[in-house]
Amino acid sequence: MSILLVEVLPQGLVFGADRNVTFTKQRAVQGGSITIEIHGQNQRPKVFRWPNRKALVGYVGVAEIGGIPTDEWLYDFIGSHLDFPNFGVLSESLRVKVEEQRRIDEGNLGPEPLIIHLGGFEEREGVQVPVTWYIRNAHGFGALGYEDFRKEFLNSEAFWYYFPNITPQEIRALLRLMASQYNPFWFHQGFDLGTFNLIEGFLKAAFRWLCEHHSNHTLPESLHDWERQVRMSILTYGAYFQAFKGPSEQFVGGGVDTVSLEWP
């Protein structure tokens, strides 16, 4: 399922993901009496930016939609939605298209996990603020992560859910305070989130200490600085899989892609 990081910062938005995409092939042996499943990884991008730089999108989960790689399917969607009135309309259009196509793809088979984040900025009460919409077919979350996957996809605005009492005029100052404490606001999606969150927490604590005590390290100031932190987190998690998992279990790895969008 891989890993997707979304960070909402006073400088803008950063989306990052690893590049490994897991595929499964079946090979029949001895006239079809035995079937062997072969697992492996390809490398494909999972985070993208609209050509007009108005939006970011990233995903984890199923590797193909409509018989083509998921990234190509999303590029096609982007190409047909270069302009959009607002993120609510755009995200609902994406939810409908994804659900329709995955129902066709899966047929009578069970649903496969797919989680998509869509982000950008829009005006509220006269100021530009971040929004992040969250499209998924996971209808529950338990001790081991996402559960209750269905063919029906949900869609909701995720960022402002965590700030019900903060006004649009106040949100950037709050994000600036969080970032100054080396604790930027984030969403993490993907494989074995408990393990990733633990490793990422240790990594952030280590870099916070370096920023406070090492002359060669300073607190991230620019969007580019925060992108490098996202890259480091994903690369570290990929190293965990490379060190401890077998060749057929490299669900995270293959390098990192990041995209960003500056606060207007």
- pLDDT tens string 191-236: 788 889 899 999 999 989 998 898 888 889 999 999 999 999 999 9
CA contacts within 13 A on the Cβ side of 145? 15
d(CA 149, CA 138): 4
Average pLDDT, the chain: 90
- Give the confidence band of 147 by pLDDT, cuts at 50, 70, 90: confident
Residue 40 has pLDDT above 70, yes or no: no
Question: Higher model confidence: residue 259 or residue 218?
Answer: 259
The 10 Å Cβ neighbour count of residue 152 is 11
Could you tell me if residue 111 is inside a domain?
Answer: yes
pLDDT at 26: 46
pLDDT at 27: 46
pLDDT at 142: 74
pLDDT at 251: 86
What proportion of the chain, given as a percentage, has pLDDT over 70? 92
- Give the confidence band of 89 by pLDDT, cuts at 50, 70, 90: very high
Could you tell me if residue 227 is inside a domain?
Answer: yes
Could you tell me if residue 226 is inside a domain?
Answer: yes
Give the containing element (helix H, strand E) for 203.
Answer: helix 193-213
Give the containing element (helix H, strand E) for 228.
Answer: helix 223-244
pLDDT at 32: 52
Could you tell me if residue 221 is inside a domain?
Answer: yes
Domain count, the chain: 1
Domain containing residue 201: CATH number: 3.60.20
Could you tell me if residue 172 is inside a domain?
Answer: yes
Question: Higher model confidence: residue 23 or residue 220?
Answer: 220
pLDDT at 246: 87
pLDDT at 192: 85
What proportion of the chain, given as a percentage, has pLDDT over 90? 75
Could you tell me if residue 83 is inside a domain?
Answer: yes
d(CA 150, CA 139): 7
Could you tell me if residue 184 is inside a domain?
Answer: yes
- Give the confidence band of 249 by pLDDT, cuts at 50, 70, 90: confident
Domain carrying residue 163? 3-23+39-262
d(CA 16, CA 256): 7
Residue 29 has pLDDT above 70, yes or no: no
Could you tell me if residue 29 is inside a domain?
Answer: no
pLDDT at 39: 55
